[in-house]
Structure 1
Amino acid sequence: MTEHRGAEPGAGHRAVRRVLTVAGVPALLVLAWWAYAVLSESFYVPTPGEVAGAFAETWFSPRLVEDALPSVLRLLAGYLLATVAGVGLGVAIGLSARLRAAAEPVLEFFRAIPPPVLVPLIMLLAGIDDGMKVLVIASGCVWPILLNTVEGVRALDEVLSDTCRMYGVRGTSRLRHLVLRGASPQIMTGLRQSLSVGIILMVISEMFASSSGLGFTIVLFQRGFAIPEMWSGILLLGLLGYLLAVLFRRLERRVLHWYHGRGGDRA
């Protein structure tokens, strides 16, 4: 009984330390923000309390469905399109040395073009509807996925490849159990990198000829000098990015449980 009571404070201290570790840096940032807003007295830097009040008033309303939801749907559509294209082309290029040699100059050329530069071109080709915004997001997200998939396929274990060949594992079975499974750590790395790119391009695409979305709303607030509301939109974007990162981390752990279980997360 004495040992059990003595162990409880240790567990409590660990829990408190964990909470302080997680919340400490955000709390310091909020305090620094509050101090700067009070000392500077700038109209363009509201206090955290003013932004929190604007956040509740702006986003706990129909605007959340009218502006935030369309943004998320466009992001998911563009991200899914980039995933299908990036993984499909990456597997094909990674498995074929000839195709890789032929495609490498083209890939390096398009990879060097910043995706925001393509927005006017995509607007001319695809119009100004939701399809344009989805294509803008996909055009930037596809490159991390594609390049990481190529590298993952090229790095497949030769012993496993020879084993599959000896046992007659070919076609879709080889693709599923050897190629995609072996390259999955690299593919997931590309998917994680492209997620942040997709959020950036989601906002940029909505700043051009749009009538809804988070990017459109933030610019609308800025032009109307609704500064706390503008900051609340930026805050919502940060929270959205954090939530998507947490969800993706859970998905990655589930998909790569075999990889992390053998110590791959320490690599």
Structure 2
Amino acid sequence: MVRTTGKILHRLAIELVLPLALFGLLLAVSANSTNFYFPPLARVLERFDALWLGPRFVTDVLPSLGRLIAGYAIACLAGVVIGVPLGMFAALRRAAEPVLEFFRAIPPPALIPVLVMLAGFGDTMKVAVIVTGAIWPILLNTVEGVKGADSVLDETCRTYQIRGMSRLWNFVLPSASPQIVVGMRVGLSIGIILMVISEMFAATTGLGAAIIVFQRSFEIPEMWSGVLMLGLFGFALSVVFRLFERRALKWYYGMRDLERRS
């Protein structure tokens, strides 16, 4: 227990050294800044405290989080549901490939005007924008993970007549899960980017909307405080995802540790 705690603290210290050093350097370098567009970091932190640790956390951060969670959840579900049969059946994959490649080539921001016409300026449009971008790494990694399942284990399932849902839950999904989680990690990053873009286009609440309003009003310290909040927002989500990943793939990382020791 003591050794495990020591490892966690050591890893945390390593991960925080560079960000803290850069933060301290920026604080010192910007202390005497008179540039209107690059104010002192201390002033940005003052505005951060006043803005984001108060009512704006509820009015802007939580709506952004809700849109992201909704879009990301739909993208994960759709990516896995579509990707599993495509990975299992080569004929289906060949038939669907031209359509998938066509839609994958369209940048999600280019679809915003279309989605605005179809869904209006509400949350539905913003969630749809997130889905159109976040789904692709999840879908493609699911396909590759299912295709790359261990052939020996696959043959063992056939020998013991493990079929249908039992084969799916006990062999296909566990075999593909490491690659699916990789796609989910990439999809989360894309989802955050598209969340901000959709809010900058057409929203009155959210991190993206707040940043663009501050920029247009020439409230530069407030704008930078929003950028800082967005960075912390993404960092917090990456930490949460890492915890989920370690828990969901505990068996996988345990197996890798055993292989290293042997």
Same topology, TM > 0.5: yes
Is 1:208 aligned to residue 190 of structure 2? no
Q: Alpha-carbon deviation of 1:32?
A: 3.7
Structure 1: state its 5+ residue gaps.
1-10
Q: Alpha-carbon deviation of 1:30?
A: 2.0
RMSD: 2.2
Q: Alpha-carbon deviation of 1:154?
A: 0.2
Q: What SS does structure 2 have at the residue aligned with 1:169?
A: coil
State the partner residue of 1:82. 75
Q: Alpha-carbon deviation of 1:40?
A: 4.9
Deviations 1:205-238 (A, max 9, x none): 0012211111001111111111111111111111
Structure 2: state its 5+ residue gaps.
none
Cα 1:40–1:143 change in 2 (3 A) is same
Cα 1:19–1:256 change in 2 (3 A) is closer
Name the amino acid aligned to 1:254: R
Is 1:246 aligned to residue 239 of structure 2? yes
Deviations 1:130-172 (A, max 9, x none): 0000000011000000000000000011111111112121111
Deviations 1:166-214 (A, max 9, x none): 2121111111111111100000000000111000000000012211111
Q: Alpha-carbon deviation of 1:107?
A: 1.7
Deviations 1:84-135 (A, max 9, x none): 1100000011111111111112222222222111111111122111000000
Return the index of the structure with the highest Cα Rg. Answer: 1
State the partner residue of 1:128. 121
Is 1:255 aligned to residue 248 of structure 2? yes
Cα 1:173–1:19 change in 2 (3 A) is closer
Greater mean deviation of Cα atoms: 15-24 or 174-183 = 15-24
Q: What SS does structure 1 have at the residue aligned with 2:201?
A: coil
Alpha-carbon distance in structure 2 between the residues aligned to 1:53 and 1:134: 32
Alpha-carbon distance in structure 1 between the residues aligned to 2:34 and 2:156: 69
Is 1:54 aligned to residue 35 of structure 2? no
Equivalenced residue count is 256
* TM-score normalized by the length of structure 1: 0.89
Is 1:113 aligned to residue 106 of structure 2? yes
Greater mean deviation of Cα atoms: 108-117 or 74-83 = 108-117
Equivalent of 2:227 in 230, 234, 241: 234
Is 1:93 aligned to residue 86 of structure 2? yes
